Structure 1
Amino acid sequence: MWDFIVEFQMALTTLKVKHAGPGRHADMHGLYLLVRDSGARSWVLRMQHAGRRRDFGLGPAQDVPLADARILAANLRKAVRAGEEPESRRRAGQRSAPTFEKVTRDCYDTMKGGWKDQRHVSWISSFERHVFPLIGGRAVTAIDSAAVLTVLEPIWLTVPDTAKRVLQRIGTVLDYAHIKGFVPEEVSLRSVTRGLPRQTHQVTHRAAMPHEDAPAFMKALLALPSTLGRDALQLTILTAVRSNETRKAVWGEFDLDKATWSIPASRMKMKEAHVVPLAPAAVKLLRALRQRHLELHGAVKPERLLFSSRRDKPISDMTMLKVLRDMKITDATVHGFRSTFTDWVAECTDVSKEVADKALAHQIANAVEAAYRRTDFFDRRRVLMSEWAHFLGA
């Protein structure tokens, strides 16, 4: 009869497995981590039969994560109790669990049929951009709070909304893995955020439309009759500028042949001049507006406002917001489309945060970094804004 060596010690953790020194380190129910002087780490299950102690190797720790080692050990113990020979069962049971990426894609294929618009695209792209490069190759049984923390740390403060969605989506995949039998127990991620800094700046965010919903919204917007509010909102979204920058724009700031909008420092929040590369859709809109001005006024003076309900007076803040409210959009704001743009860049493109920040005319918080970053990424921003317009279907 086989007996199992049990030592009542603190169970191992992923961190202990990684940093344990040379020696034999007990986990539970006869499972040990063996660390050699060379640093090599392997798993061993110790069992005893007829007074003879035997060790069964379960594989190197770099290939078999802690969670997998426990499952292999449990399966081997169960087989032994059923009367099977442990050596043959151990060999048969060493099939590796599917990778987290494989399970995620299976989960995605199962769920995507019920999604509308672009939601299914952004769901998987968030994994491809933020998750798979870090933990996609690990066995799904090895994904715990510590693994998820490594995914969230780089994006928790830089793209907080995306980070929260990634956390929720990882939880969905792990629930799927449990239901499918890949993971024996449900994995709780409730404690993950305790290892992350507080997102204190979130309270100041304006309500924003999820970027997955933006193409459908833009289609509905373009179907409306042309008005000052509709056209101003369309230009604001296409260029990702602040609403004030649109409201007070004058014709002298635009070069439609070069497809640029040069906003002077006096009109910018950060008091730095900002040149916006215009996507073809934005140029088309502006040419139509210019032709309308020409027909109404006989000439287009450089100092004339693009959007004015009365001569020399810009439209109010409420003009564009009213378009949203008339469309029954109550959970988004005009300014919030800048956040929509930011999330789209983070989840659907390979564009760096530095380029996205420049597109939004954000100020660099670090003074040293600001002193050395002299480029405005103009050519890369031109490509980015064209891709944004294409995504919107404008």
Structure 2
Amino acid sequence: MGKLTNSMVNALTEPGRYADGEGLYLRISPAGGRRWVLRIQIHHTRNDITIGDARHISLKNARLEAAALRAQVAKGGDPAEERRKAKKKVPRFEEAARRAHAEMCKGWKNGKHQQQWIETLELYAFPKLGKRTVDKIDGPMIRDVLAEIWLDIPETARRVRQRIGAVLDWCCAKGLRDSEAPMRSLARGLPRQPKRKGHFAALPHFEVPAFLDTLRAKPMSAGTLALELLIITAVRSGEVRHALWSEVDDDLTIWTIPAERMKMGVEHIVPLSRQAADVLRRARQLSIDDNPYIFPGPISGAALTDMALLELVRGMDVPVTVHGFRSSFRDWVADETDTADEVAESCLAHSVGNKTKAAYLRTDFFRKRRAVMQLWADHCLPPARIVAMPAQPVATIQQTPVPVRNAATLPPLRRHAYR
């Protein structure tokens, strides 16, 4: 039997705590508030759990609620934690994905990756999972999302799987679900994907000059010029598409790509050949007033998309990728010159050797890279085929003549030096 009665409860007015027994108290605040409170040990820690307002909960009901809470604790439960979870709003998957993306993308330097990350979820995950709260998403639900694309677009499907897992793990870290993403068990619920064979499709280096002849025969546009510069400088697609006029020196001999736009996160200085300078001079004719991009889109004025160059290559009916031209350059260096591997890899902005070697090798081989890149440009576009500038340049073109280095200072070609 409890110590309190209904008449006592109604008569009590003094602020304080009045015990009924087994941890149940009537607590009266100085302001006159009256609440039922249960004091109980949960995992060896004392907790005061509020049952409710004594004006609306009778003594009998308070005792019943206290008994239920004690029974829950006896079974290993934690009523206080359960109440905290109930108060916390659990977001739906779409909301959680956008919040997780906003936090994680701050550490990503690739703008294309930032956009693709959320777009893949919008396209493939949100239709089935977007409106479900994250605490209710389980393995079978994720499996159903992936099953539709697992064999048709395997690489994209793997990315969707990884990104769904990243969102759910983020939710777990935030206390929005009890466990991390159940990704390990998915392997048994999905068929084996075909193995990806080979690397980026590339054009044999001896076919690159003919490819460029065909490219230069097309009407001049930001896309054709960007692809031409990409080939003769051996840079990555994103580096040339987002190139800015402020990154190129006045003489059109050096292009400095800042670290935040490089895959390796290190500033890369590109020596510009005479042919590369010619591309930039022609790009000036298409420049838009006050537009910082060297190759702006014709309509938006923003940087070209990756699909712009890819569609251009596809339209030329050759089974290669844009990235494959870097491989064409690397094969040419190995087959046709005696260039050291460190210099060739530095031309591609790759890390040189292991960490120990890189710690001591601080040079960027700029002088040697300039010679190699001029040789490559001469191979791709022999000087006799370079299109001359118009006699009357447009107002945005610098009219100071571009200095030309003596070709006699360049190292001679050596065929099949690497075997």
Q: TM-score, normalised on structure 1?
A: 0.45
Determine which structure has more spread, i.e. the larger CA radius of gyration. 2
Q: TM-score, normalised on structure 2?
A: 0.43
- Higher relative contact order (CA closer than 8 Å, sequence separation 6+): 1
